[in-house]
Amino acid sequence: MRRGRRSGLYTIVAVHSTARGPSLGGCRMWGYADSRDAVADALRLSRAMTFKAAVADLPLGGGKGVIMRRAGEPPLDPELRRAALLDFADTVDALEGRYMTAEDVGTSDADMTVIAERTPHVTGLAVERGSSGDPSRWTALGVQEAIHVACERVWGSRELAGRSVAVVGLGRVGGALARGLAAEGARLVAADVDESKRALAGALGAEWTDPESAMRADVDVVSPCALNAVLGAESIPALRCRAVAGAANNQLASEEAAALLMEREILWVPDFVANAGGIINISVELEPEGYAPERAEGRVRAIGDTLRTVLDDADAAGTTPLAAAMALGYRRLAEASAPPPAASLGAPPA
């Protein structure tokens, strides 16, 4: 945690694990009431990234970056924003490759280009630079695959034509997801706190409502794509869907919420399984062959296979999808941390 010498803003990097490889996680520029809240957010999100990467079987660990703005203050002017990005770049560079950054809430691929002026440990740069650019469409594609598998489990068919889905949050990921679902013939209920997103809902033929009503809509699937902690003791009893699968991070208000969903026979897809498309896409950038969108698409669509494994494990153990996904992540972390078998070290010298 540093206070930037250019901007005066706090820049924070949390590294949760490097057991499977360098930690990767986006840079979030967000408003917080207190610097302790910003640190807590970075720590919590870095842990989630560890399990997201491990469950997706990526050679990466979990980290997160935060540029802290003060809650309630207006967005940074261009000069101060650039200064904050350069300060954050210095914080990233101090870790000497143990953490790699990418865009996240409040930042863009253009911001990554600024950060890259001060450190090479940046991913998700613009397509024009041979990188993969905005990861939103890949995150949306992974969530769509997860919804296919959820429908397969609940209704015996992965077809979305005729299914009803409430997409709660029409930002970059939620908007891309809504377009994909509409293209497959799903009937949409759409919501966002930003009234300007109503135009997209209208173009897709979606029913427009407010986020709270969308969570309680009488639909087949609810897809939270904005706020975290939306599933808890108060909201779960009001759900009228059979499955929940969305892009938002940390959807459960507490781990006990997973059991409440199971008791109500609502299939919840662990968020860090469904929304791994972005980090999977970025991992392709790091391969020796360089980035290729067709390779990225195949890897992102494999989220469906990962989710089937998680749900099979949950059924076999009689536990929640959350517990099964966490157990899979712990196994993969343990395997990465274990010393190699003696036989793999080669024969002793004669």
Tell me 119's DSSP state.
-
| Cα–Cα dist 167/220, whole Å | 11
Tell me if residue 64 is catalytic.
yes
| Cα–Cα dist 135/104, whole Å | 9
Backbone CA torsion sign across 47, 52, 53, 54: positive
Residue 219 tokens read as 């639909």
Tell me 342's DSSP state.
G
| Cα–Cα dist 200/221, whole Å | 20
| Cα–Cα dist 51/131, whole Å | 24
| Cα–Cα dist 166/190, whole Å | 6
Among 96, 100, 128, CA closest to 283? 100
Burial profile 10-35: b = 16 or more Cβ within 10 angstroms, e = fewer: bbbbbbbbbbbbbbbbbbbbbebeee
Which residue among 16, 64, 121, 332 is the active-site one?
64
Please count the other Cβ atoms lying within 10 Å of the Cβ belonging to residue 334. 11
- Strand ranges (E), the chain: 2-3, 10-17, 23-32, 61-70, 99-103, 164-168, 187-191, 207-209, 221-224, 243-244, 267-268
CB 324 within 8 A of CB 262: no
| Cα–Cα dist 40/50, whole Å | 16
Coil/strand/helix, residue 189: strand
Please name the residues in contact with 311: beta carbons below 8 A apart, sequence gap of 6 or more.
Answer: 149, 153, 267, 321, 324
Catalytic residues: 64
